[in-house]
Amino acid sequence: MTSNSNLSSMRRTVEQLRLEASVERVKVSQAAADLQQYCLQNASKDALLVGLPAGSNPFREPRSCAVL
Amino acid sequence: MGEVEKMKKEAEGLKTQIEAARKAVHDTDMAAAAAGLASAPRVQLKTRRTLKGHLAKIYAMHWSTDNRLMVSASQDGKLIIWDSHSGNKINAVPLKSSWVMTCAYAPSGNLVASGGLDNMCTVYNLKTPVVKIVKELDAHTGYLSCARFLSYAEILTASGDTTCALWDIETGKQKTVFLNHIGDCMCLALSSDMNTFVSGACDSLAKLWDVRDGQCKQIFQGHTSDINAISVTSQNTSDSCSTEKRQKRASHAVSSFKSASSLMLIFTNITIMANINFFPIGNAFITGSDDCTCKMYDIRSDQEVIGYQDAQLNSGVTSLALSMSGRLIFAGYDDFNCNIWDSLKGEKIGVLSGHDNRVSCTGVPADGMCVCTGSWDSFLKIWN
């Protein structure tokens, strides 16, 4: 009985490894370039990176507010 | 018997093949590829809100998709829904079990979920006159370390029983169980298209899964200790949830403890961590670990592409969040700080100091307007 469960768990392991081995891998230089491109394209919209003018910061009280 | 031997040989051969294939595409690493990039500016963020209300350690927080409300979970046995703009509490949901380790906000904003040492994921409706329990999802045989809604109808959970599961909330049943980890699952992160998720576990591996067919597609190694945090910079939210890291012994011991005070002892001695987040375009994810480092793995290259470490940092990473462009990583550590890393260059470019105890959770809302840190000091802080 143990040899049966050994066999089926080995089979699962081999099947899993076959699946992983069949993955097509992209060169790290290409992957890095794509990630960089995304970061740079979105940098100007990233409030934590470039900062926010006080007026448009929902977490900051406006200094003066004149309502006429 | 001969059959098992043959399979062992094939397994070894496949492992060698996989390693060779990874090496073959490793023509550079992220830091080298980013050498020509201007450094990110030194980031100095101010505390804009300190949210006071919990009476004990905060273990988890999660932003709503409206970028304004958020849910936090504390050992005081409550979930609190906060309006981050005003700082007001919208709801306080009493939990049946105060040993909470995770909380989540549904994309629609109508539901929240929590779970922990009770091994269950409880889903609550926030829109009924009094907050009501919609369902108790009860099938895991170990603690619930992380939960994330796919929609109002489905939720993903990660558990100390080493499995992750996809549930149908209405029926309360598991639709798919993800079996492959050999250590407690500590964290999970959903890709923005919700077709895949990554999980991190105490076996120090990160795994990529297909949500629908339950298949483990890729396995990532590199950490030398438990992965506590995993972050996929999703296009919508990057967040971190905290969970208790357990030694195997402790996790078995807790289930046999009867008295609440003994449970409390175990609970407070366990370090919380669980972070894994996707990068915004879903090609990569970040992990944080007990080994005091964070790493970025690229899914298409099937390997680690950069590490975030500092010789002077020798406390474990508890939580991670990414800014909306993916350039900044906010990593919470055991040493009460949240360090800010340049994700492309691997340089530390800022610190968020202000908590009086371990930072247990961090989260950036979908619009990227701020970062929230939650701590064992019972406070949440909003920074930008």
Residue A53 lies in a domain: no
Does A8 map to a domain? yes
Q: What is the 3-state secondary structure (H, E, C) of B94-121?
A: ECCCCCEEEEEECCCCCEEEEEECCCEE
Answer whether residue A29 is part of any domain.
Answer: yes
In a domain, A58, yes or no: no
Q: What is the pLDDT of residues A15-67, one digit of tens each?
A: 999 999 999 999 999 999 999 999 999 999 999 999 988 788 999 876 555 55
Touching check for A52 and chain B: CB below 8 Å?
yes
Decide which of B263 and A50 is more confident. A50
Per-residue confidence (pLDDT) for residue A2, from 0 to 100 = 64
Distance of residue B236 Cα from the nearest chain A Cα, in angstroms: 13
ipTM above 0.90, yes or no: no
Distance CA B319, CA B334 (A): 10
Query: Which of A30, A49, A52 is the closest to B325 by Cβ?
Result: A49
Q: Looking at the complex, does the CB of residue A5 fall below 8 Å from at least one CB of chain B?
A: no
- Is pLDDT at B42 greater than 90 in this prediction? no
The closest of B121, B115, B143, B140 to B270, measured between CA atoms, is B143
Q: Looking at CA atoms only, how far is residue B342 from chain A in angstroms?
A: 10
Asked if residue A50 is part of any domain, the answer here is no
pLDDT at residue B102 tops 50: yes
pTM over 0.90: no
Check residue B373 and give its pLDDT: 97
Task: State how far the Cα of B252 lies from the Cα of B316, in Å rounded to an integer.
Answer: 23
CB contact, 8 Å: A12 with chain B? no
First to last CA, chain A: 86
**Domain-embedded: residue A59:** no
* Domains contained in chain A, number: 1
Q: Is residue A22 part of a domain?
A: yes
Chain A to chain B, count of Cβ pairs less than 8 Å apart?
A: 168
Task: List beta partners, residue B47.
Answer: B383
Q: Which stretches within B179-276 are classed as H helix? A: 248-256, 260-269
Residue with more model confidence, B230 or B136 = B136
Amino acid residing at B89: K
Bridge partners (DSSP) listed for residue B112: B105, B124
| B residues 23-52 lying closer than 8 A (beta carbon) to A | 24-30, 33-34, 37, 40-41, 43, 45, 48-49
B84: left (phi over 0), alpha (psi -120 to 50) or beta: alpha
pLDDT beyond 50 at B266: no
**Would you say residue B277 has pLDDT above 80?**
yes
Q: Which domain holds residue A7?
A: 2-45
Q: Record the tokens describing residue B71, joined without a space.
A: 């849910």
Mean pLDDT taken over chain B: 87
Mean pLDDT of B66-72: 98
Mean pLDDT confidence for B199-228? 88
In this prediction, residues B239-251 reach a mean pLDDT of 32
Q: Is residue A23 situated within a structural domain?
A: yes
